[in-house]
Amino acid sequence: MTQPTPYPVLPLLTRGLAAGGLAGLASGLFSLLLAGPLLDRAVRLEEEREHATGAAHGHVHEELFSRGTQHFGLVVTAVVTGLALGVFFALAYALIHRSTALTHRPWQRALLLAGAGFAALSLLPGLRYPADPPGVGESSTVAERQVLWLAALLIGILGLLAAWQLYRRLDRHPAPVRQTAAAAADAATAAALFLLPSHGDPVPLPADLVWEFRVLSLAAHTVLWAALGGLFGWLGLRGLPGHERNGAAGREPAPALAGG
């Protein structure tokens, strides 16, 4: 008879929501404080270009939202994204570890899953199609760019699953063999990503602005995944009894003193 899951899924989803919301907030504040000035600069350059074009054609577009409203929307969007990501993170965690106790090594497992998620959903797709500030990309190519980005995400996920399956199926082989096979799957994933076509849109912004924005965008993703994995694992440790918490966190219990 199939054994029930040794840990309720509902508390796991609660952990995912809490960790995801806080991780999204951290990522949003990081983007606001560090990438915000770059966004403002890119928006000003785009507005100047639009005003010049509009004046030449006899019409000028007014800004729909103030910069303060846009900054607030940036943080809110990051929090909502974090909440959704937290739910999927919890479901993936439960699915991957369904055959064992979900309370086993929550810290290590959460960090490993967060690292894999960052590589598959942020790092690899971001290397092929890095984030661009406002003002980059033609409106006529939005749909094409979205399809290419989704294709990059799909390839990243499939590559992650292939690496995981290879690592599992080679469980009778030494660790170097398993790690090499997983690394080969990751390399093949990267190669497949760079076979995707470039959108080829012009970049009418200074190169230093675009480069700094792309680096900070990837850094914001790093903050998101690191905070998600760390908080999810930490909340898992808090739910363990004290005598299990030290072992789950990778610490050995203190040796007992010999009686005199």
Residues 108 and 179 in one domain: no
Token output for 92: 């993936």
Q: Which of 134, 198, 200, 196 is nearest to 159 (CA)?
A: 196
Concatenating the DSSP letter of every residue in 118-176 gives HIIIIIHHHHHS----TT-S-GGGHHHHHHHHHHHHHHHHHHHHHHHHHHHHTTTS-HH
Please report whether residue 151 resides in a domain: yes
Residue 131 · residue 214 · CB < 8 Å: yes
Please report whether residue 1 resides in a domain.
no
**Does residue 207 register a pLDDT over 90?**
no
More confidently predicted of 1 and 208:
208
pLDDT by residue (tens digit) across 75-101?
999 999 999 999 999 999 998 887 776
Give the model's confidence band at 4: pLDDT under 50 very low, under 70 low, under 90 confident, else very high: very low
Q: Are residues 152 and 177 in the same domain?
A: yes
Question: Is 177 found in the same domain as 81?
Answer: no
Question: Do 110 and 151 belong together in one domain?
Answer: no
pLDDT of 245 reads 54
- Say if residue 58 is in the same domain as residue 104: yes
Number of helices (H), then strands (E), belonging to the chain: the values are 9, 0
Q: Tell whether the torsion through CA atoms of 200, 202, 207 and 209 is positive or negative.
A: negative
Residue 244, domain member (yes or no)? yes
Question: Residue 7: what pLDDT?
Answer: 52
- Asked, for residue 256, whether it belongs to a domain, the answer is no
Same domain, 126 and 194: no
Q: Are residues 84 and 175 in the same domain?
A: no
Domain assignment of residue 51, yes or no: yes
**Domain count within the chain:** 2
Q: Is the pLDDT score of 260 beyond 50?
A: no
- Domain check: are 184 and 213 in the same one? no
> Containing domain of residue 18, as a range?
9-137+207-248
For residues 91 and 26, state if they share a domain: yes
Are the CB atoms for 17 and 84 separated by under 8 Å? no
Average pLDDT, the chain: 81
Average confidence (pLDDT) over 201-220: 84
- Contact, 199 vs 144, CB < 8 A? yes
What is the Cα–Cα distance from 170 to 175, expressed in whole angstroms?
9
Give tens-digit pLDDT for 102-125: 677 889 999 999 999 999 999 999
Claim to verify: residue 122 and residue 34 sit in the same structural domain? yes
Q: Is there a single domain that holds both residue 51 and residue 158?
A: no
Same domain, 117 and 14: yes
Instruction: Give the tokens for residue 253.
Output: 């219990």
- Say yes or no to pLDDT of 244 above 60: no
Confidence of residue 253 (pLDDT cuts 50, 70, 90): very low
Structural domain contains residue 255:
no
